[in-house]
């Protein structure tokens, strides 16, 4: 019977345990590069079996919130190298999350104040955080069919940049109502070209992105995050989420990705927001399966022990417990994260959560 504390192989990446740090946007990257505090923050959390970085935009168009880091320029690669070196020196492993927000953006972040890019022209009923505080997201522009190969190439460029920056792997952000999810779901995608309509068409962009990244950096360093039923960022619910995501995962299975990472339920909210059979995804995917959302210690221990998941990702508890692995091992109390310091700011609520005393 495997334990949460046992090693695990995710493609080319050897994890010391099955406790994963979930991607957590912290809005502290002034100049769109991770700074010295980020180096310290990730180093403190290097006992995780795998750290998945905060979302990092793959292009300027991919940014949707204030002070999030990019992973597409030489300056960003050099800054991330300091993070990956620190994590590796501390004995950890780290993947970058490749992020394109699509329509969850604002003119402030877009080149020449242009409209954000999406599968649709329809504006999301959602907010983003800018220099002016919380504001409505902008009305997007639907990407033209002939622009989509360029989007795929942007993912490839960022994946290559990630490897150059020393990341052990990449996680493609296919979740939470951002660009790739805006193509997947018929609650958003209203296209009439080969990328809209049927499930096969809506899944096409994601599958092309995954295939292209695999060809560029190898399947054993490529993972994917999905969130089949989360309604966040005005994603709504697909009319048949089970059929859609079963298809996506069936198509991905032959690629032999390093991992599939699934948010079960509403991101950061109820796990039972809509009915969904996650075991059906695991069965179809065949490779390593990381589960996330609202997992307690007991739930994580049980899910790994009964084989329903290979690893569990923890989000909020990694914010406030840099030594989460040790605390889970000892069944020690967990500190609660301060929501006031989650997005933006400095060291407070970022690098000052104490580890257990020896």
For ligand FMN, give the closer residue by CB, 87 or 142.
87
Kindly tell me which residue out of 59, 119, 120, 176 binds ligand FMN, with binding defined by CB under 6 A. 176
Which CB sits closer to ligand FMN, 24 or 252? 24
Residues numbered 282-301 forming contacts with ligand FMN, rule: CB under 6 A: 292-295
Residues in 55-94 at the binding interface with ligand FMN, rule: CB under 6 A: 55
24 sits near ligand FMN (criterion: CB under 6 A): yes
Any idea what DSSP says for residue 323? Answer: T
Give the number of other Cβ atoms within 10 Å of residue 157's Cβ. 15
Considering only the stretches 85-93, 151-159, 191-199, 311-319, report the one whose residues sit in contact with ligand FMN under the rule CB under 6 A.
311-319
Q: By C-beta, is 46 or 337 nearer to ligand FMN? A: 337
In whole angstroms, the minimum distance from the beta carbon of 85 to ligand FMN comes to: 22
The answer to the question of residue 181 lying near ligand FMN (CB under 6 A) is: no
Of 78-86, 180-188, 262-270, 325-333: span binding ligand FMN (CB under 6 A): 262-270
- Considering CB under 6 A, how many residues would be counted as binding ligand FMN? 22
The answer to whether the Cα torsion of 58, 60, 66, 70 is positive or negative is positive
One-character DSSP codes across 184-230: H-TTT----STTSSSHHHHHHHHHHHHHHHHHHH-GGGEEEEE-TT-
Q: Tell me if 316 contacts ligand FMN by CB under 6 A.
A: yes
Residues 6+ apart with CB under 8 A from 347: 37
Quote the CA–CA distance of 327 and 322 in Å, as a whole number.
Answer: 9
* Residue 96 touching ligand FMN (CB under 6 A): no
Q: Annotated catalytic sites, by residue?
A: 178
Task: Scan for tokens 């991330």, then name that residue.
Answer: 80
Provide the H-helix boundaries in 90-185.
148-164, 179-184
CA distance 265 to 175: 12
Regarding 29 and contact with ligand FMN (CB under 6 A), the answer is no
For CA atoms 283, 221, 21, 269, give the dihedral sign.
negative
Residues of this chain that interact with ligand FMN (CB under 6 A) are 22-25, 54-55, 97, 173, 175-176, 225, 263, 267-268, 292-295, 314-316, 342
């Amino acid at each position: 019977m495997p334990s949460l504390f046992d090693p695990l192989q995710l493609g080319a990446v050897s994890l010391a345990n099955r406790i994963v740090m979930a991607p957590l946007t912290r809005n502290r990257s002034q100049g769109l590069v991770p700074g010295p505090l980020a180096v310290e923050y990730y180093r403190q959390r290097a006992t995780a079996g795998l750290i998945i970085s905060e979302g990092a935009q793959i292009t300027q168009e991919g940014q949707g919130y204030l002070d999030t880091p990019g992973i597409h320029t030489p300056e960003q690669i050099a800054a991330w190298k300091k993070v990956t070196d620190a994590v590796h020196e501390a004995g950890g492993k780290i993947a970058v999350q490749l992020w394109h927000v699509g329509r969850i953006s604002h003119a402030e972040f877009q080149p020449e104040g242009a409209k954000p890019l999406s599968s649709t022209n329809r504006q999301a009923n959602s907010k983003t955080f800018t220099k002016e505080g919380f504001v409505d997201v902008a009305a997007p522009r639907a990407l033209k069919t002939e622009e989509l190969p360029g989007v795929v190439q942007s993912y490839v460029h960022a994946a290559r940049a990630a490897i150059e920056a020393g990341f052990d792997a990449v996680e493609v952000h296919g979740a939470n109502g951002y660009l790739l999810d805006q193509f997947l779901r018929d609650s958003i995608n209203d296209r009439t070209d080969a990328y809209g309509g049927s499930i096969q068409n809506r899944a096409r962009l994601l599958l092309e992105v995954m295939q292209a990244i695999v060809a560029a950096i190898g399947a054993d360093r490529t993972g994917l995050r999905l969130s089949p039923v989360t309604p966040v960022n005005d994603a709504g619910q697909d009319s048949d989420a089970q059929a859609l995501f079963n298809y996506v995962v069936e198509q991905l299975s032959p690629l032999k990705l390093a991992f599939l990472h699934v948010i079960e339920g509403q991101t950061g909210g109820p796990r039972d927001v809509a009915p969904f059979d996650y075991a059906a995804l695991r069965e179809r995917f065949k490779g390593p399966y990381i589960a996330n959302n609202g997992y307690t210690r007991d739930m994580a221990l049980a899910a790994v022990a009964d084989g329903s998941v290979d690893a569990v990702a923890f989000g909020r508890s990694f914010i406030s417990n840099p030594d989460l692995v040790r605390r889970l091992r000892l069944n020690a109390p967990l500190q609660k994260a301060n929501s006031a310091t989650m997005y933006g700011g400095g060291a407070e609520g970022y690098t000052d959560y104490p580890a257990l005393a020896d």
